[in-house]
Amino acid sequence: MTVAEGAASALRVPVELEGRSYDILIGRRLLDDPAAWQGLPRASSVVVVTNDTVAPLYADAVEDALRRALERPVSRIVLPDGEDHKDWPTLQSIFDGLLGSGCDRRTLLVALGGGVVGDMAGFAAACFMRGVPFVQVPTTLLAQVDSSVGGKTAINHPLGKNMIGAFHQPVRVLADLDVLRTLPRREVAAGLAEVIKYGPIADAAFLDWIEAHVDDLVALDPAALAHAVRRSCEIKADVVAQDEREGGLRAILNFGHTFGHAIEAGLGFGEWLHGEAVGCGMVMAADLSVRLGRLDPAELPRLERLVARAGLPVRGPRLGAARYLELMRHDKKAEAGEIRFVVLDGLGRAQVQPAPDALLVSEVIDAHC
Ligand code: NAD
Ligand code: GLY
């Protein structure tokens, strides 16, 4: 797919997938630039799926650019904001809206919002008429560096997060850095956790760069953000291209998530943001890597300092080691009840491995909670 010249100043990261390749465009003032919307599949109509926080901020501009670029009818479906609404009734409301306005298999969906909207609109696109194209327009830092890329879509089930879903790749991702200016500070920090993650698992030089620029990132400096989003997307695109359906390698993207998931579930989802739990979880996973003799002990305080400088917690809640271990057995990486961890083999390399001795994991928990 070609990207129009007008959006030429945008950075372009390709995601190479046999027959389903697409571009991630990263830049400023992209949303209302009709050129950024050129070259998409021919659509009969366009539906923007967003939520009641993001809609008043950006939906008019996006729809205006879409009308000018695609010259097709554009309508809007507004979902209630929040992870609590990432569920069947809300998904059904998307289908109600699509069928009620006569959409067909050539309708293009546009997911405008954070990871919750992206995951839900993506899942709706995967199912509606057995699959329609969709564009991801991520408006949180977390969504720009992680959830909008790679085609994982899902809703939650009362028995587990993201348990009902599909792989369905977008046809384009438009990451407009300017929208991050309206994002609450806590959400910016949560997104930085996922940026930091890419250093230890795949690129030690990127970790050095983040250390040197973390204050610029917290201050939303456009040049620093552009580099961080681009390098994060490049690393994720590379991993996804090698292992789209998480047969193995893709699981390294969950560094820190086994401990983080236990924190989120143990406190009740929503108490800590996902990125906050991942930030703390990365420190714990790095400590586990040290205790396994795979990571230089000097790297642990370094990572801990960086996570703290990003505005993220580095000490987990005191749930008790037994409770942590019980919660981790429900992690999606667990196999037949056996917990699996992403551990570091030095900085810049990661692998998934079955749980080491429970005592070792308990020591990590006791040291950081
Ligand atoms: P979110 O979508 O809930 O957004 C956070 C908050 O910010 C919401 O209140 C939202 O309305 C608001 N918001 C969004 N953009 C804004 C803006 N520009 N200005 C002001 N407010 C704005 O949370 P998130 O952190 O973006 O995403 C979390 C979700 O992503 C979870 O459901 C998680 O499961 C999912 N996720 C999916 C993947 C994947 O690969 N598909 C990866 C990681 C996370
Ligand atoms: N966020 C993890 C993944 O996309 O696989």
Q: Which ligand is nearest to the CA of 250?
A: 2
User: Best of 85, 119, 229, 272 to mutate for ligand 1, by most ligand atoms within 8 A of CB?
Assistant: 119
Check residue 354 and give its pLDDT. Answer: 84
Residue 36 has pLDDT above 80, yes or no: yes
Q: Which pLDDT value is given to residue 330?
A: 80
Residue 197 reports pLDDT greater than 60: yes
Ligand 1 close to Cβ of residue 182 (< 6 A): yes
Measured distance CA(46)–CA(69) in Å, rounded: 11
**Predicted pLDDT at 97:** 98
Backbone angles phi, psi at 328, to 5 degrees: -70, -25
Separation of CA 238 and ligand 2 centre (Å): 12
Q: For residue 5, what pLDDT band results from cuts at 50, 70 and 90?
A: very low
Residue nearest to atom 42 of ligand 1 (CA): 147
| Per-residue pLDDT tens over the stretch 270-324 | 899 999 999 999 999 999 999 999 999 999 999 999 999 999 999 999 999 999 9
CA distance 192 to 178: 16
For residue 276, the CA-to-ligand 1 centroid distance in Å is 13
Mean per-residue pLDDT for 186-207? 98
User: Catalytic: which of 76, 261, 333, 340?
Assistant: 261
150 lines ligand 2 (CB under 6 A): yes
Assess whether pLDDT exceeds 90 at residue 49: yes
Q: Is the CB of residue 31 less than 8 Å from the CB of residue 176?
A: yes
Residue nearest to atom 35 of ligand 1 (CA): 115
Predicted local distance difference test score (pLDDT) of residue 8: 65
pLDDT at position 342 is 96
In the predicted structure, residue 355 carries a pLDDT above the cut 80 = no
Residue 193's nearest CA partner among 295, 115, 306 is 306
307: left (phi over 0), alpha (psi -120 to 50) or beta: alpha
Answer yes or no: is the C-beta of 143 below 6 A from any ligand 1 atom. yes
Render pLDDT for 218-276 as a digit per residue (tens, 0 to 9): 999 999 999 999 999 999 999 999 999 999 999 999 999 999 999 999 999 889 999 99
Using 50, 70 and 90 to split pLDDT, how confident is the model at 217?
very high
Residue 299's H or E segment, with its range, is helix 299-309
- Is the model's pLDDT at 356 over the cut of 70? yes
Domains of the chain are: 3-182 (3.40.50.1970), 185-368 (1.20.1090.10)
CB distance 257 to ligand 2 below 6 Å = no
For the Cβ of 146 lying below 6 angstroms from any atom of ligand 2, the answer is yes
Cβ atoms within 10 Å of 291's Cβ, excluding its own: 19
| Active-site annotation holds for 349 | no
Is 220 near ligand 1, meaning CB less than 6 Å away?
Answer: no
Ligand 1 mean position to 357 CA, how many Å?
A: 35
pLDDT tens per residue, range 155-176: 999 888 899 999 999 999 999 9
| Adjacency order of strands within the sheet including 22-27 | 11-15, 22-27, 172-176, 134-138, 107-113, 45-51, 74-79
Q: Is the pLDDT of residue 2 over 50?
A: no
Exposure string for 83-114, b = 16+ CB within 10 A, e = fewer: bebbeeebbebbeebbeeeebeeebbbbbbbb
Q: pLDDT at residue 4 above 80? A: no
Q: Which of 147, 169, 198 to mutate to test the pocket of ligand 2 (most atoms within 8 A of CB)?
A: 147
Q: Does residue 3 register a pLDDT over 60?
A: no
Q: In terms of pTM, does the model score above 0.95?
A: yes
Q: Whose CA is nearest to atom 15 of ligand 1?
A: 139
pLDDT tops 90 at residue 369:
yes
Output the pLDDT for position 331: 74
What is the 116 CA–ligand 2 centroid distance (Å)? 14
Q: Is the CB of 194 under 6 A from ligand 1?
A: no
Please tell me the predicted confidence (pLDDT) of residue 238: 98
Average pLDDT, the chain: 95
